[in-house]
Structure 1
Amino acid sequence: MTELLFYAVPSLVIAGLGFAAYLLLRRARRISATWKHGVTAEARCLRMYTTTSGGGGDSSVHTAVHHVYEFTTRDGRTQRFEEAGGPATVLEGDFVTVRYLPAQPERATALPPSRGRLAAGTGCGLVFLGVCAAFCVVFIVVAHMIFTEADRLMP
């Protein structure tokens, strides 16, 4: 029964890492498609705020800037969306250009097209997830070797 935990838990972690990689790739494809095929509109920043994570003791603090934008689509609908990771220079009341796919205006982005940055960020994220998955595989292999050796030495 204990052996099962040494196989099941890392396997579940690997499955979770695979799902995270899928989400990362899906986000990159969505943003890239919006930059390439999307239409533009002028949006107004309704709200800007920051969130912090980490901190305490010796760990670092990460601050993320969030913006809430509102724009009117070409067919006259008012659309509001929130986006993290935008520039801290955009303040409440500022106007920015947003890009959106007409079929999905709720998934608009105010991030300026930067394919290299998107590829680098996605690549780094995938490498990190791959290293974590490799660690889990090594853990499973080592656990299997230990349990196999223990079974062999048992009378």
Structure 2
Amino acid sequence: MDAMFYAAPGLIMACALFVAYRVVRRSLQLSSAWNSGLTAKARCLRMFTTTHGGANDTSVRTRLHHVYEFTARDGRSVRFEEQDGPATVVEGDFVTVYYTEGQETVATARRPSPVKNAAGTLGILAFLGVIVVFCVGFMVSYHTSA
């Protein structure tokens, strides 16, 4: 029974740390794409939405996706999908993409906004940090009271 009071917060902490890793990784990918100096004209091949929620009178969350394709400097054709892009970009539109070269090409059609990127990343990390601190505090208080 005691294991549950350690396993549940441990699992929550593991999930929070994994999300933190993914947030930092995406932030670094965006920064490297913006700072690489490589740009190209990409065509929006497809625009679609996904919805989540709506069951049992819960709110529905709709997410907009774009699929872009561009030709990199080395002649390769690169296709990528990006979430939460502008709703004004529709199929057939051309946009400027920022990308990195190498083994794993990272590309984004988002305009460079390093301050917004850093603020969003720090905000999410602060929230996740509160979750981890709460879980650690819960486990320590349970351990000392048991």
Alignment correspondent of 2:60: 61
Moved over 6 A (4+): none
TM-score (norm 2): 0.90
CA RMSD in angstroms comes to 1.7
Secondary structure, aligned partner of 1:141 = helix
Q: How far apart are the structure 2 equivalents of 1:58 and 1:135?
A: 30
Aligned length: 146
Secondary structure, aligned partner of 2:116 = helix
Alignment correspondent of 1:141: 140
Output one character per residue of 1:95-146: Cα deviation in whole Å (capped at 9) or x when no partner.
0000111215642111110112111211121122112112212221232233
Q: How does 1:6-155 map to 2 (within 5 A)?
A: 6-104=5-103, 106-147=105-146
Tell me if the contact between 1:80 and 1:106 (Cα under 8 Å) persists in the aligned partners. no
Which amino acid in the other structure matches residue 113 of structure 1?
P
Q: Which runs of 5+ in 2 are unaligned?
A: none
Cα gap change, 1:54 to 1:121, in 2 (>3 Å) = farther
Question: For the pair shown, which has the larger CA radius of gyration, 1 or 2?
Answer: 1
Q: Which moved more, 1:130-139 or 1:31-40?
A: 130-139
Secondary structure, aligned partner of 1:45 = strand
CA shift, 1:32, in A, is: 0.5
| Percent identity (aligned) | 55
